[in-house]
């Protein structure tokens, strides 16, 4: 018996864009915090290879596991979906991504987030304990970045 709608083994092994996005967000947050794959795996009772599979999207992360990861990485579970294009009903623009000013770091330019300089800057930023000072630093950096746009 052949099922017409049954995906072939090749199709079923394709990485879904959501799994890839969630995995990249896990990697991003883990790297921002300076946590190794081994350390995250140990906290979850997994091997670093399993963390690698989550991060490259080849293994899907269950809802309960994603919640555990969010607790360890000190973010809301929604963080892992920020910047994901929306294609559902009510979506006016299927190519629209989350506004970085409203939702935090996005994947609009993935290369910038792989930079050691970017990671060091973000780590240093989050070491500022006073929220008011941190907000002022954010606004300063943002205004300096906007200077080029006015020229």
8 domain residue, yes or no: no
Query: Domain span at residue 128?
Result: 115-151
Q: Report which of residues 111 and 126 the model is more confident about.
A: 126
Domain count, the chain: 2
Question: What is the mean pLDDT of the segment spanning 88-114?
Answer: 48
| Band (100; pLDDT cuts 50, 70, 90) | very low
Output the pTM of the full model: 0.60
Residue 123, pLDDT > 70, answer yes
Same domain flag for 41 and 78: yes
Token pair of 49, please?
Answer: 């290879």
Interacting residues of 37 by C-beta distance below 8 A, sequence separation 6+: 30, 48, 51, 52, 55
pLDDT of residue 96: 41
Question: What is the mean pLDDT of the segment spanning 1-17?
Answer: 60
């Amino acid at each position: 018996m052949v099922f017409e709608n049954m995906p072939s083994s090749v199709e079923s092994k394709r990485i879904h864009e959501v799994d890839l996005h969630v995995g990249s967000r896990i990697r991003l947050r883990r790297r921002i915090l300076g946590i190794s794959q081994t350390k995250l795996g140990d906290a979850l009772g997994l091997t670093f290879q399993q963390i690698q599979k989550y991060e490259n999207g080849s293994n899907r992360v269950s809802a309960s596991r994603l919640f555990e990861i969010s607790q360890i990485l000190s973010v809301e579970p929604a963080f892992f979906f920020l910047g994901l294009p929306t294609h559902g009903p009510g979506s006016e623009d299927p190519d629209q991504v989350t506004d970085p000013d409203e939702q935090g770091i996005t994947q609009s330019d993935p290369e910038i987030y792989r930079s050691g300089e970017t990671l060091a800057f973000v780590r240093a930023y989050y070491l500022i304990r006073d929220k008011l000072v941190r907000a002022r630093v954010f606004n300063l950096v943002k205004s300096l970045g906007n200077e080029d746009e006015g020229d």
